[in-house]
Structure formats: C-alpha cells, structure tokens
Amino acid sequence: MVGRRHLPEDILVDILLRLPVEPLLRFRCVSKRWYALIKSPSFIEKHFHHKNNRARLLICNLTMSLDEGMSIDFSLLPDKIVPDVHPELKILHQLRRVTGFNSVAGPVDGLFLLEKVEPNPEDDNSLALWNPATREFWPLPPVTFELQPFRDQNYQFALGFDPSARDYKVLWIRQFWDDVSPNCLVNVYSLRNNSWKNLKPEFPYCCSLHNPIGATHLNGVYYWLSGRLDNKSCRICSFDMCSEQFGEMQGPVFPNAQWGKLMLRGDSLALVVGVDPCKPTSIYDVWVMNQHESSWTKVLTVQPLIKVSHLPRGVGEDDKMIFQIDETSQLVLYDPTTRQITDLGFQLDLIYGRSWVSNYKESLVPIRRGNDSQGEDNAVEQIEQFFNRFEKAYGPRGCYLKN
C-alpha cells in the first residue's frame, strides 16, 4: 500500500494563507503538522497581511428601546458597494438586552477592546479583549489607580502591540484638572503578563487628548491629536508601546481649520481637517504623515455633495468616507472619485444610540495563552458573564450573542 504523500511545505502554506479564519480554525484538527503551522506566529502574521484578507468597513451600532433595552450589532460592509443600493450587510455578532456596554476601541491586528460600566460609581469600568474571527473573549483584571479627591475630567483607552516583546498592551489614561494645572494618571496592561502597572508620565499634553477616527496605532506607536486646534498647526501626542514613553511632535500647518481628527489612511498616519464640519458646504483636507515623522503632505480635498449638516465617521479603501447626517442620524458612504453618495441603511438612535466605524481585517491572533479548549465554544457564555455582573445589581437582563 502506498503511503500518503504530504504536500510540500511552501505549497501548503500558500494554499492555507488564501483561506478565511473560520476554515483555518477547523483545519487545526487535521494533523499535528497543520496545527503547529496555523498556530505559528509567522503564519498568523503572513495571513493577516495576505492580499486575500482585505480590510472591510465594520460598523458597531448601539440602539436603545424600552422593551429590548440596549442592543448592539457588529456589521461588515461588502467589498463592493453599488451606488444608490443599500448594501447587504454581514452580521458578525449581535448582542441583545445588554447592560453596561459603553464603548469599543480598535481594531489592532483584528482585536477589539470592549468597555463596560460597573454598577457601583466608585468602581472603575471593566475592559475585555475580543477577537471576532476566532471568537475569543478575555476580560482584563481590575485596574487600580491612585485615589484622587476629584472626579475625572476625561479618560482615554489605547490598544497596541509591542513588537519587541510580541505583546499586546492596553493603555488607560485618566485626565483631570486640579486647582492649578492639568494632570493625568496612566496604567498599562500587558496581555503576556495579564497584569497592570502604573506609569508616571511627565508629559502635560497627554492631559488634553482628542479621540481619533478608529484606532491610530502604527508600528508599535499610538497617536492622538493633542491640545487645541488653531489656525496655524496642531500637536500630536504619541505613546511607544515598547518603551512605554510618551512623545510629542508637530502636526501639519493649515490655515483656517477649526476641526480635525487623526486616523489611519492605509499604512500611514493621517489627519482630516475642516473649517466648519457642521455646515452643508464643508470642505475637508486629508494630510498624511511622511516617513520618519518629519513632514506632512496634503493628499486629498473632499467636498461631499451632502445638502445637510454632517460629520466624518470613517474612511475606507480608495478614500471612501462615511458621514453621519446630523438631522436623521443616517450613515452614508461618499466616493470622492465618482462623487456619489450611498445610504448604508443604518438608522441610528437619535437619542441614546451611538456607533463606531472602523477598518477591520480577520485575524488569527490568539488572546489566550493557555488551553485551546477554552476557545470559541465558550465565547457566548463568557460575554454573558462579563455583562451579567452588572445585571445582578439592577435586575434580570440577558445578553445573547448570535453568530
């Protein structure tokens, strides 16, 4: 009897790299060889950056009703969107009757950071890491900040990757004002160590950070727009995930800009600015940071043909931008090449609803470092338990996750 012949390693890798995450998770059971290959860090990285693993716009839509309570849908837009036709959405996950959900940050390498409000106002909010593709869910341990005699003015989260230690980290910045000056407290979480540690940054500009569009993490560094946007230029604050140090650099110089948001444009840091984004006649300029953070170049000017007030919410491939219509809370896609506008079919909750828009790619990046048997089969139960800790204080509410 002729024995089975194995495919050469290079051919096997080339075939597997072209597949989505879901079949790859099943194929780990084929043999020890396939298991070791699919779990290897080199394969995971190659798969994430493979040309077949294209980025798609993901929208997290939060709604509220008296009957159902809080509901959250995570929806993927298709690769190609036909103008004037509502796109067919792929529902990644649905959370029903959720209590305490507050925000989602990311993605970084396919991982998201979820935030939950705790019932006791004296307790800090809870955080968890989540990989939608592998359906892994990992609640972070509680964080401890130094006690302060005043409440937070603001806070920021950042999810990033330390390439030197091959470790994912979460940064938590609490910003406040005392009687004299701005201050901030900082803690950083290490997934490898599963623990928090306190940092003492001597960097005042981390006390006035602005939320970006999506996750502005690039090559082990996270970026925020810092301070006040004036008519000359802006400051950009950074945090290096390797050295765990804050930094600052000068942003581009632009006249008359009154509004701005940092974002990623492909593999580059970008800044979108406008004079008055609330006006129907708004014009937006997109600036991209050149290599080595030395200079900025204006690469795009967009004047969407939207006759009512609107705000940019996200940017996809080919510079297609998502805008939220203020009056109706609709989300629309604007193609700057064809200048066509397409309604995405999202009707956001005008009163309580919120949404998050991001560029998402599937990822095999593992969250757990232990037993594989704790994987996707327990994701539903773990998310329910994560939110039901809040529920025990306020009465019976369920949390259901549908694939």
Return the top range by mean pLDDT from 169-178, 222-231, 392-401.
Answer: 169-178
Find the largest Cα–Cα distance for the chain. Answer: 85
pLDDT of amino acid 313: 84
pLDDT of amino acid 231: 52
Which of 401, 358, 398, 352 lies closest to 376 in space, CA to CA?
Answer: 401
pLDDT of amino acid 397: 35
Length of the chain: 403
pLDDT at 203 exceeding the cut of 70: no
Task: Give me the mean pLDDT over the 215-240 stretch.
Answer: 83
pLDDT of amino acid 402: 34
Nearest 5°: the CA angle 323, 173, 322 is 10
Does residue 194 or residue 206 have the better pLDDT? Answer: 194
To the nearest 10°, the Cα dihedral for 96, 97, 100, 105? 10
- pLDDT category at 150 given cuts 50, 70, 90 is low
pLDDT at 327 exceeding the cut of 70: yes
8 A C-beta contact, residue 108 and residue 160: yes
CA distance 218 to 268: 8
Nearest 5°: the CA angle 57, 226, 145 is 90
pLDDT at 100 exceeding the cut of 70: yes
pLDDT in tens, 255-273: 677 788 899 988 889 988 8
List Cα–Cα distances, 214 to 14, 286, 356, 364, 381, in angstroms: 31, 15, 8, 20, 28
Q: What string of H, E and C letters represents the secondary structure of the chain?
A: CCCCCCCCHHHHHHHHHCCCHHHHHHHCCCCHHHHHHHHCHHHHHHHHHCCCCCCEEEEEEEEEECCCEEEEEEEECCCCCCCCCCCCCEEEEEEEEECCEEEEEEEECCEEEEEECCCCCCCCCEEEEEECCCCEEEECCCCCCCCCCCCCCEEEEEEEEECCCCEEEEEEEEEEECCCCEEEEEEEEECCCCEEEEECCCCHHHHCEECCCCCCEECCEEEEEECCCCCCCCEEEEEECCCCEEEEEECCCCCCCCEEEEEEECCEEEEEEECCCCCCCCCEEEEEECHHHCCEEEEEEECCCCCCCEEEEEECHHHCEEEEECCCCEEEEEECCCCEEEEEEEECCCCCCEEEEEEECCCCCCCCCCCHHHCHHHHHHHHHHHHHHHHHHHCCCCCEEEC
8 A C-beta contact, residue 399 and residue 97: yes
pLDDT in tens, 336-386: 888 888 888 877 766 666 788 889 999 999 997 654 444 455 666 677 667
Instruction: Calculate helix-pair angle for 32-39, 41-49, nearest 10 degrees.
Output: 60
8 A C-beta contact, residue 363 and residue 56: no
Q: Rg of the chain over CA atoms, in angstroms?
A: 22
pLDDT of amino acid 89: 83
- pLDDT category at 47 given cuts 50, 70, 90 is very high
Q: Which range is least confidently modeled, 21-25, 249-253, 262-266? A: 249-253
- pLDDT category at 169 given cuts 50, 70, 90 is very high
Q: Which residues have CB under 8 Å from 11's CB, separation 6+?
A: none
Nearest 5°: the CA angle 250, 256, 257 is 60
Which of 215, 89, 132, 168 lies closest to 383 in space, CA to CA?
Answer: 132
Task: Give me the mean pLDDT over the 180-186 stretch.
Answer: 75
| Sheet containing strand 330-335, strands side by side | 310-315, 321-325, 330-335, 340-347
pLDDT of amino acid 138: 92
- pLDDT category at 182 given cuts 50, 70, 90 is low
When the pLDDT of each residue in the chain is averaged and rounded to a whole number, the result is 80
pLDDT at 194 exceeding the cut of 90: yes
pLDDT of amino acid 123: 65
